[in-house]
Structure 1
Amino acid sequence: MSGLDTLRAAIVQTLNGVPQIGRVHDRERFASDEAALRALYLHTLPGGAQQLRGWWLRRDATEERSLNVGRTLSVDTWTLHGRMAVDDTAASELAFDALIEAVRDAVRADPTFGGACATSPIKDEKATDGMQVGGTGAVSFCGVQCHGASLQLRTWRYL
């Protein structure tokens, strides 16, 4: 397994530790029809009801930086995409916001994902730590009105 694969698996493992997060995938999933795609993102709630509630992780970019002779740093930028079916009577927007904050808390509690990456040794114009909320809003997913979110994260690995 490459360092990137190990890091991806560690991030997904951390996300799966967030209570009631739903289905977390290590990549964007596709299916031949909408029903099959929906099945990939269905989550069973306490009490047995099912809700469209899922996430997928994508590496969006990688920057390579030479820190000094013989020391190279790989800076990976990740986006976590989340979807959760709207249920206005249950105030689902507030529940979705709480999930986003629980994800941010989990990353803040273990920023190296169990040692799969390093803490940031550099400070630059993108000097951010933890999971950033890039945007939220209503989206249609699998033919269902959903809350959507895009969360960004940067990780650092020595090559």
Structure 2
Amino acid sequence: MQQDMELIREAIAAKIEGVADAGIVQRHERWAQRQDKFRARYEQDGKIKGWFVRRIRRRARVLTYAVNEVQHSWVIRGFRSFNDESASEIEFDRLIESIVEAFRADDTLGGTVITCTTPQAAGLQLNESAPVMFAGVLCHGAELELTTITLEGPDDEAPEYLRELYLNGDLIASSGDGDA
């Protein structure tokens, strides 16, 4: 559901914004035709300090005849101005770990999702961290990935009830013949 996706996107961005010195968090990937305008979207205190959130995948799996598990995969890209004198790589790594810890401390994003843990990944993952040119500035760049799980079910079922069934393992995949 589109409203769920927007709530999840907002919860992810808010979680990053809650981390000290995270910088500017865009709810979607931003662009501008002029480099100075593009840089301004991610610049804070005269340095590039920014992130954006992008949904890259949606997968639904039947759990019962009326309930689907929906996994949204999100990429979160961050950039921080490079400064060799201050060992900015170490500072950026610390920031990444602080963001990872913020997600680990709240696996439901404030109740917005069932969980951010899948059999393949426990919460926020670091896919890559490397120097990049961003808006004409040498930066540290990071790509984080998060998979969120929600349920689609009958409108009259309380989300808390479905969540409890899911976490207890009481929702099982349908055999396709009408039996759950």
Q: Which residue of 1 aligns with 2:34?
A: 33
Q: Which residue of 2 aligns with 1:142?
A: 135
Q: Using the alignment, how far apart are the partners of 1:110 and 1:90 within structure 2?
A: 31
Q: Which residue of 1 aligns with 2:62?
A: 66
SS at match of 2:41: helix
Q: CA deviation at 1:129?
A: 1.4
Superposed CA RMSD: 1.3
- Give the TM-score, by structure 2 length: 0.81
- Determine if contact 1:41/1:54 at 8 Å carries over to the other structure: yes
Superposed structure 1 runs of 4+ greater than 6 Å apart: none
List aligned pairs for 1:11-22, cutoff 5 A: 11-22=12-23
SS at match of 2:6: helix
- Runs of 5+ in structure 1 lacking a partner? 45-49
Q: CA deviation at 1:88?
A: 0.4
Higher strand share: 1
Name the count of aligned residue pairs. 151
Q: Which amino acid aligns with 1:134?
A: N
Rate the CA distance shift 1:143–1:66 in 2: closer, same or farther, 3 A: same
1:118 partnered with 2:111: no
Q: CA deviation at 1:120?
A: 5.9
Q: Using the alignment, how far apart are the partners of 1:82 and 1:12 within structure 2?
A: 12
Rate the CA distance shift 1:62–1:39 in 2: closer, same or farther, 3 A: same
Q: CA deviation at 1:122?
A: 6.0
SS at match of 1:153: strand
- Determine if contact 2:116/2:123 at 8 Å carries over to the other structure: no
1:152 partnered with 2:145: yes
1:2-28 CA distances to partner (integer Å, 9 max, x unpaired)?
011011111111110000001111111
Q: CA deviation at 1:121?
A: 8.1
Q: Which residue of 2 aligns with 1:55?
A: 51
- Determine if contact 1:139/1:148 at 8 Å carries over to the other structure: yes
Q: Which amino acid aligns with 1:142?
A: A
State which of 99, 102, 109 in structure 2 corresponds to 1:106.
102
- Determine if contact 1:129/1:154 at 8 Å carries over to the other structure: no
- Give the TM-score, by structure 1 length: 0.91
Q: Using the alignment, how far apart are the partners of 2:108 and 2:149 within structure 1?
A: 9
Bigger-Rg structure (1/2) = 2
1:69-111 CA distances to partner (integer Å, 9 max, x unpaired)?
2111110110100111100001100010011001100000111
Q: Using the alignment, how far apart are the partners of 2:53 and 2:100 within structure 1?
A: 14
Rate the CA distance shift 1:101–1:66 in 2: closer, same or farther, 3 A: same
Q: Using the alignment, how far apart are the partners of 1:29 and 1:83 within structure 2?
A: 13
Rate the CA distance shift 1:120–1:34 in 2: closer, same or farther, 3 A: closer
- Determine if contact 1:41/1:53 at 8 Å carries over to the other structure: yes
